Amino acid sequence: MSASPPSPAAALPSVEEAVALGLTAAEYALVVDKLGRAPNQVELAMFSLLWSEHCSYKHSRKLLRTLPTEGPRVVMGPGENAGAVDVGDGLAVAFKVESHNHPSAVEPFQGAATGVGGILRDIFAIGARPIAVLDSLRFGEPSSPRSRFLLDGAVSGIGHYGNSIGVPTVGGEVYFEAPYEQNCLVNAMALGLAESSRMIRSAAAGVGNVLVLFGASTGRDGIGGASVLASAEFGEADEDKRPTVQVGDPFEEKKLLECSLELLERGLLVSLQDLGAAGLTSSASEMASKGEVGVEIDVSKVPLREADMEPFEVMVSESQERMLCVVEPARVGEVLALCHKWDVHGTAIGTVTDTGHVVVRDGDRVVGDMPVAALVDDCPLYDLAPAKPPQPLYAAPVRTLEPGASPRETLLALLSSPNVASRLPLFQQYDWLVQSRTVRRPAQADAAVLRLPNGRAVATSIDGNGRRVACDPYNGTVANVLECASNLACVGAEPLGTTNNLNFGNPEKPHIAWQLTEAVRGLGDACRALDAPIVGGNVSLYNEAADGPIYPTPVVGMVGEVPDPERAGRLGFSETDPTRPDVVGFAGPFRPHLPGSELAKLRGEPLPDGLPAADVAAVRAAQEAIRDAVRAGELSSAHDVAEGGFLVAVAECCLAGDVGAVLDVGASDDTDRLLFGEAPGGFVVSGPEDAVRRLAERVELDVFGRVGGDALEVTVGGERIDVPLAELREAHRALAPLFP
In tens, the pLDDT along 277-298 reads 889 999 999 999 999 999 999 9
The answer to whether residues 144 and 181 touch, using CB atoms and an 8 Å cutoff, is yes
The secondary element (H helix, E strand) that includes residue 255 is helix 250-265
Q: For residue 316, is pLDDT > 80?
A: yes
pTM (predicted TM-score): 0.94
| Alpha-carbon distance values, 488 to 105, 180, 458, 483 (Å) | 31, 28, 10, 9
What residues contact residue 129 under an 8 Å CB cut-off, 6+ apart? 123, 192, 193, 194, 257, 261
In the prediction, which pLDDT does 248 show? 86
Mean pLDDT (the chain) is 93
Q: Which of 54, 59, 102, 357 is catalytic?
A: 54
Q: Which of 59, 100, 102, 639 is catalytic?
A: 100
In tens, the pLDDT along 339-367 reads 999 999 999 999 999 999 999 999 999 99
For residue 17, name the pLDDT band (cuts at 50, 70, 90). Answer: confident
What residues contact residue 390 under an 8 Å CB cut-off, 6+ apart? none
Domains recognised in the chain with CATH numbers: 570-740 (3.90.650.10)
For residue 623, name the pLDDT band (cuts at 50, 70, 90). Answer: very high
The answer to whether residues 398 and 411 touch, using CB atoms and an 8 Å cutoff, is no
Among 424-438, 483-497, 676-690, whose mean pLDDT is lowest?
424-438
Whole-angstrom distance, CA of residue 167 vs CA of residue 430: 10
In the prediction, which pLDDT does 241 show? 44
Q: For residue 228, is pLDDT > 80?
A: no
| Alpha-carbon distance values, 270 to 200, 214, 283, 729 (Å) | 8, 15, 15, 55
User: Is-catalytic flag, 54?
Assistant: yes
For residue 738, name the pLDDT band (cuts at 50, 70, 90). Answer: confident
What sign does the dihedral 198-278-351-536 (CA atoms) show? negative
For 513-543, what is the HEC assignment? HHHHHHHHHHHHHHHHHHCCCEEEEEEECCC
In the prediction, which pLDDT does 245 show? 72
Prior bond of 8 cis (ω within 30°): yes
User: Is-catalytic flag, 639?
Assistant: no
What residues contact residue 364 under an 8 Å CB cut-off, 6+ apart? none
Whole-angstrom distance, CA of residue 578 vs CA of residue 159: 40
In the prediction, which pLDDT does 400 show? 96
Whole-angstrom distance, CA of residue 168 vs CA of residue 49: 33
